[in-house]
Structure 1
């Protein structure tokens, strides 16, 4: 109960000394210990605050009850305050008052009202505690559960400490001094009001501000004011899509354009790149073939590097355009973020492709390659690679020559690996340079005399000679007369021999008759005369 009894100094001045005692006794009879009363601050001393409550003696309150958390006083002479009458007459004859206890009593009334009506109370979050936070409700401690602190999960609880907020009391027990409050219910109510207001003004094509709320692999969700919209990854940049986290972070305030708005399903599609012109629309006007452009390496792959000319425009420098020398993997020379210059080769606006080159900024060594290595030049080098179709020999730094399988040997071979291996040093002869295709053709067999030279004079039709069967095919048998000179016994000749009991196999030494010879085609036709000796080689 609050007693509004006030002390009128004017009236007491007209009282005689004899009359004052009955007056004060009457005043005392109106006051009871434990009551809330109002008084006026008369003075503030080092230890106490003196308050006039219209009693025969002034009330005394310890100065500490008027200091805030930082020790500053929040009272001065002349202030009217509400206090609790603890004792109307102590052993010193003083009236003992308490503002702190008066505040607590008044605050418990407010707490009860908040719990019953939903009215909000201001409080200060003091510190983190197990399961939530401790809150000061004007001198009365309360508990704020973590689940009731915010609408979203709290990633940094320290940010809430020392903050002042409005709360609702959701549970209390005055006897146990137990109070549970919620901040979330207030935020949800505010958010719902904001959402309704926002929904009224949103429309397709409108440009609005929002805060990045969540980041996923496929885009970012933006809070537009109680309503969330999605910026899909394809609507973030005119360039090739990167992970959204490379562009935004949670909490960023961004400006977006509403692309689609479905009120029934509450779905809003937003665009970020749509606030800027599409760089591909004017690319042909801004860039021309032959331009030298500075840019940033944004991606390195096995087949080359991607360079960003400007935001939304990327070009490819293919592995073949990195250097005039034989290019190694791009990852060995470049890394993401490198700033480089390149020459623009071509633009395909339809396919959104730009071709760039590094080597076109350098002198082309192939301009002099034909003069440096004229036909017939002998070169030495190490075998870099052995393939089905030939052998690659390094003839200088970054330049390899190819010995085609047909130029490996005068003798027929199935695979170059039968004669050569990687790392082997070889000598070869230049047979041609192709500047356009950047190729040097080599030959090894031209270093050796052609075994077919003079064959037509040496092996004339009708001549009987001995040879070795090298292979049996379904159309006949191949017989070698000497190294690099081979002819064929047709299947019809073999069948005639079988009728005579002559059956041959690979490795056998046979007598044959030269039937015909074509030095240009390197072909000799044989007739089977007889088996000289059986060999150990198994037919292939």
Structure 2
């Protein structure tokens, strides 16, 4: 008998005692004189038919209707979406039976036991274990509720990844599959997607399965069930920690577009925009650059928030147009020109600091 039923019977019994206190006092003396001995064979087993017969309410001091009425007062109002405490009392092939204090034991299907793949229920649950469960639906026709652990883990996983995104954290996750669009990983039990454009240029997509990659969050949208990550951005951030504006680096041309060329500089790509190739006008980058060309470029901007590195060869030209007429000259004098560029930036900064403010003029 559960706690609610015990409490109900206790109340009814107390009421009856008040009504019949004098009768009980008279019966007490005679009751002590009765022989209370019994044989073990008189006790019905838990499986015997006599243990399942209706209670004799006629001799209980209250009616069955009164019992049912009071029992209803203590029944919990379980609703879908609620979290309840429950105790596992049976593990079955298709799920687990959970005691949550309701009239009928609740049931948790095996597919709701975890957000992660498990071999069996006993990988997650043990008999007599008490924990929190999520109510998935209203009672069925048998008065039984359906429960879930997976829904709780799912909600908490989204809370966790939102917090990680807010902190701009770098995480590591194993690639478990690839497709035409990119690669698939799991983060806090949730399935995440890495677009092909956000995988390092040095990684062959089809060989990624089983590799642990550093990743940054691009999109976290629980409503649309979208979790998008970037391997490239994580690498760029790591690389950026060792780079600085005005630095000259050696790279290789990995791709050419109408708007510029992508240069691989140590595993990450930087953009050499068409406007930063030369002081002279250029119709298309294809007229100046070829894929796999090795060249020196100068870093002119580092955008860690968007994972972008902006490059320039224009700033390295000894004379305007050298990238078109004598690119080898640009290569050989790159460090010298970069030093002049840094000095120019330094002087510009000093000039800005020396500009008097309105408050200084007033003084």
TM-score w.r.t. the length of structure 2 is 0.41
Greater strand share, 1 or 2?
Answer: 1
Q: Which of the pair has more CA radius of gyration?
A: 1
Higher helix proportion: 2
Q: What TM-score results when the alignment is normalised by the length of structure 1?
A: 0.29
Structure with bigger RCO (C-alpha 8 Å, 6+ apart) = 2
